[in-house]
């Protein structure tokens, strides 16, 4: 599959490398290609593009940009390049304006995922992976042999199904379908707990398992 990964940070790099390793045709997108040259030298199967080139390349597009800038980055990617495509949103609306721990810039009756869906109504937004650190996103078996959950939220059932298959290809065993995109309000707000768990456990290689 042709995948466009918007972002140049640790999440975009990790997702791009894993997708390429799995045989996908990946372009990673940034406003500044130079910042990815060093990384690309050891990930030569991944090409670098602008946000627009990256979104145009993808049959599936992943938003791995800073949550505070995601709407702006996606505008640069271009509405026409996102139309009728699955847009996997792994971003979080973290607000570091008062330092650490962060608060949320969107919460309660709205979420960043829903803001993105409203701004790009032709895209099929699927929220997932935002509740785990970058390494766990792509290598879930490295925590408790994969015995923990990732959540998925989307309005489009087929898009959710395709992203579920992608998650399985990363190694995810337990994929919790929360329902429509409004359920991303919960997974985004979970970051308030995640940062505290991170602080208490001194590692990001953690996750939760849902028990009944």
Chain residues that interact with ligand NAP, rule: CB under 6 A: 7-12, 30-32, 64-67, 69, 72-73, 90-92, 94, 130, 133-134
Q: Closest by alpha carbon to 73, among 25, 115, 101, 103?
A: 115
Pick between residue 84 and residue 98 the one whose CB is nearest to ligand NAP: 98
3-state class (DSSP) for residue 180: coil
| Residue (69 or 157) nearer to ligand NAP, CB | 69
In the complex, the smallest distance separating the C-beta of residue 175 from ligand NAP, rounded to whole angstroms, is 16
Min. distance of Cβ 131 from ligand NAP in angstroms?
7
Q: Answer yes or no: are the C-beta atoms of 89 and 125 closer than 8 Å.
A: yes
- The minimum distance between CB 212 and ligand NAP, in angstroms, equals 26
Residue 84: DSSP 8-state: T
Closest approach of ligand NAP to the CB of residue 79, in Å: 16
CB 93 to ligand NAP: min, Å: 8
Q: Which residue is nearest to ligand NAP (CB)?
A: 9
Dig out the tokens for 18 from the structure. Answer: 């894993």
Closest residue by Cα to residue 154 from 69, 60, 80, 72: 60
Cα distance between residue 77 and residue 131, in whole Å: 24
* Nearer Cβ to ligand NAP (72/169): 72
Q: Are 208 and 144 in contact (CB under 8 A)?
A: no
Query: Cβ closer to ligand NAP: 157 or 185?
Result: 185
Select from 79, 159, 23, 153 the least CA-distant residue to 3: 23
């Amino acid at each position: 599959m042709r995948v466009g990964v918007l972002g140049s940070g640790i999440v975009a790099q990790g997702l791009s490398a894993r997708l390429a390793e799995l045989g996908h045709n990946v372009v990673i997108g940034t406003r500044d290609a130079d910042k990815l040259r060093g990384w690309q030298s050891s990930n030569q199967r991944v090409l670098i593009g602008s946000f627009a080139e990256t979104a145009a390349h993808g049959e599936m597009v992943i938003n791995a940009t800073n949550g505070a800038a995601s709407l702006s980055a996606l505008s640069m990617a271009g509405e026409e390049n996102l139309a009728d495509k699955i847009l996997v949103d792994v971003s979080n609306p973290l607000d570091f304006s008062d330092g650490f721990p962060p608060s949320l810039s969107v919460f309660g009756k709205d979420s960043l995922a829903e803001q993105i869906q409203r701004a790009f109504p032709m895209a099929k937004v699927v929220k997932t992976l935002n509740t785990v650190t970058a390494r766990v996103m792509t290598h879930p078996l490295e925590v408790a042999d994969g015995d923990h959950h990732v959540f998925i939220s989307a309005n489009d059932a087929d898009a959710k199904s395709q992203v579920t298959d992608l998650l399985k290809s990363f190694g995810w065993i337990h994929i919790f379908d929360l329902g429509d995109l409004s359920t991303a309000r919960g997974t985004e707000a979970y970051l308030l707990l995640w940062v505290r768990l991170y602080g208490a456990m001194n590692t990001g290689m953690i996750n939760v398992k849902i028990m009944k």
